[in-house]
């Protein structure tokens, strides 16, 4: 476990611009990309092709939440042709947080060292995965950030953009860390981070899950770095964003802060 760095929230010294950093073969072989899906039949084939082209040798785990549109069946048909593609199927919609926790546990039990989170709808550019993995050789948690120089968002309304920025400012102010984009779902954890976090105690989902995991890693003293990415709104399928997801994040941040103030142990293990 590393000391909490003063540069948390800043761009690490990873080579190249977005999507241009080479993926070291040894790192790729030790990496697991966890991709949650729910009704992503329009995107999943193209996404898996793009990921394979960006990080050949890396393993991919699709965690499907019982999609009624045949997403899981499409992935299952491809697993017979690829030794690095895997599928976990749920019986019903459990949410983003549960899908990632399930994927993390699966990967930890199989010895992976790098765990990449990303969406299946091309909001996160597969070409940027090598840069994210390169950053994870410098930091315990590498986060793709929309709100540092070089980062950005395409296809959002002004209202949604303001809501995202405000949520991140609120999280920083309330929780005390310096991460600029703690709601980002494009990130990479090193194995020791997930081993140290009590995954059984993580109950959040959506935006709240990303903030929750960031806060837990930061409080445990792990280093966090951010690299610039461009987030692009999906062009196919339906957005999973809802008022309930936003409300959970707002409520969660306030609850975690009050809990920690009551405990009076800001550096305690979670």
Q: At what angle do helices 243-263 and 158-175 cross, to 10 degrees?
A: 10
Q: What is the per-residue pLDDT across 85-108, written as a single tens digit (0 to 9) for each? A: 999 998 777 889 999 999 999 999
Instruction: List b or e across 229-240, with b for residues whose CB sees 16 or more CB atoms inside 10 angstroms.
Output: bbbbebeebeeb
pLDDT at position 19 is 40
Domains with residue ranges and CATH for the chain: 25-263 (3.90.550.10)
Q: In a 3-state reduction of DSSP, which class is residue 36?
A: strand
What is this structure's pTM?
Answer: 0.86
Please report the pLDDT score of residue 161 as a whole number. Answer: 86
Condensed to tens digits (0 to 9), the pLDDT of residues 198-207 reads 999 998 887 7
* pLDDT score for 15: 37
In this structure, the strands spanning 187-190 and 114-117 are antiparallel
Buried b (16+ CB within 10 A) or exposed e, 115-147: bbbbbbbbbbbbebbbbbbbbbeebbbbbbbbb
Neighbouring residues of 206: CB distance < 8 A, sequence distance ≥ 6? 95, 96, 97, 240, 245, 248, 249
CA distance 24 to 12: 17
Mean pLDDT of the chain: 86
Termini Cα distance of the chain:
15
DSSP-based three-state secondary structure for 74: helix
For tokens 């992935």, the residue is: 75
pLDDT at 250: 65
**Residues of the chain falling short of pLDDT 50:** 1-19, 267-270
> Phi/psi at 181 (nearest 5 deg)?
-135, 65
């Amino acid at each position: 476990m590393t000391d909490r760095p003063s540069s948390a929230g800043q761009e690490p010294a990873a080579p190249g611009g977005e999507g241009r950093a080479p993926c070291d073969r040894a790192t790729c072989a030790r990496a697991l990309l966890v991709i949650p899906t729910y009704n992503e039949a329009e995107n999943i084939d193209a996404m898996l092709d793009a990921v394979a082209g960006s990080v050949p040798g890396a393993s991919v785990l699709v965690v499907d939440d019982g999609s009624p549109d045949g997403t899981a069946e499409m992935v299952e048909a491809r697993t017979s042709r690829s030794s690095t593609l895997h599928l976990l199927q749920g019986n019903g919609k459990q949410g983003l947080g549960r899908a990632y926790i399930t994927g993390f546990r699966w990967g930890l039990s199989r010895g992976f060292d790098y765990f990449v989170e990303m969406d299946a709808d091309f909001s996160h550019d597969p070409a940027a995965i090598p840069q994210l993995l390169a950053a994870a050789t410098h930091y315990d948690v590498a986060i793709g950030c929309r709100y540092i120089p070089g980062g950005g968002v395409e296809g959002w309304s002004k209202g949604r953009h303001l809501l995202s920025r405000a949520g991140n400012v609120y999280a920083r102010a309330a929780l005390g860390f310096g991460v600029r984009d703690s709601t980002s779902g494009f990130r990479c954890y090193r194995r020791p981070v997930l081993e140290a976090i009590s995954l059984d105690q993580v109950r959040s989902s959506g935006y709240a899950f990303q903030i929750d995991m960031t806060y837990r890693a930061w409080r445990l003293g792990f280093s966090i770095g951010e690299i610039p990415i461009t987030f692009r709104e999906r062009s196919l399928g339906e957005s999973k964003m809802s008022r309930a997801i936003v409300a959970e994040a707002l409520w969660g941040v306030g609850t975690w802060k009050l809990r920690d103030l009551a405990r009076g142990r800001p550096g305690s293990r979670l």
